[in-house]
Amino acid sequence: MKKILFLLALTTFLSTNAYAKHDCNCDKYCAKLEHKMMNNQGGFVDEDMKPMSVAEALKLPDDAYVTLSGYITKRLGDDEYSFTDGTNNIIVKIDDDVWKGQTITPKDKVLITGEVDKELIKSKLEVKSLILDN
């Protein structure tokens, strides 16, 4: 009986630590930014969150947060699309939940915020939020 209780306690302990979140508060920051963007509310905008060019974004280090304004020109794969700001292109990865029911065409100017993903050959952008840019 003691062995069963010990194994049950050990299993519970190990499973709760496996699902623990990291403690960098990035989820809260992204949620606040997305809430402001989705509600078109005014407020303070950090210099880092102003839209930049694709060329500037490509020079940034891995995991840097960026905001880009431009057009999604075509679908490349399941979650990958070609994005342009009119001068340069970058591959963007947009998960289904980021679309939030929006229908976007190549003629629609969008504002995307995401994280630079540096790879050996090329860089991509992991999109965290996407809204129409008026």
- What's this model's pTM, rounded to 2 decimal places? 0.64
The token duo for 33 is: 């930014």
SS3 breakdown of the chain: % helix, strand, coil, rounded to 5? 35, 30, 35
Q: What is the DSSP letter of 47?
A: G
Taking only the tens place, the pLDDT of each residue in 58-102 is 999 999 999 999 999 999 999 999 999 999 999 999 999 999 999
Provide mean pLDDT across the span 101-112.
95
**Confidence at 134, pLDDT banded by 50, 70, 90:** confident
- The more confidently predicted of residues 127 and 25 is 127
User: Does the pLDDT value for residue 15 go beyond 70?
Assistant: no
pLDDT confidence of 133, banded at 50, 70, 90? confident
Q: Which residues contact 48 (CB under 8 A, 6 or more apart)?
A: 65
Tell me what pLDDT residue 122 has. Answer: 87
Q: In terms of Cα–Cα distance, which of 23, 44, 20, 47 is closest to 32?
A: 44
Question: Token pair for residue 11?
Answer: 């299993």
Instruction: Tell me: pLDDT of 32 over 90.
Output: no
Q: Is 43 left (phi over 0), alpha (psi -120 to 50) or beta?
A: left
Length of the chain: 134
Q: Structural domain boundaries of the chain? A: 47-132
Provide the CATH topology of domain 47-132: OB fold (Dihydrolipoamide Acetyltransferase, E2P) (2.40.50)
> Dihedrals φ, ψ of 117, to 5°?
-120, 95
Using the predicted structure, report yes or no on whether residue 121 has a pLDDT greater than 70.
Answer: yes
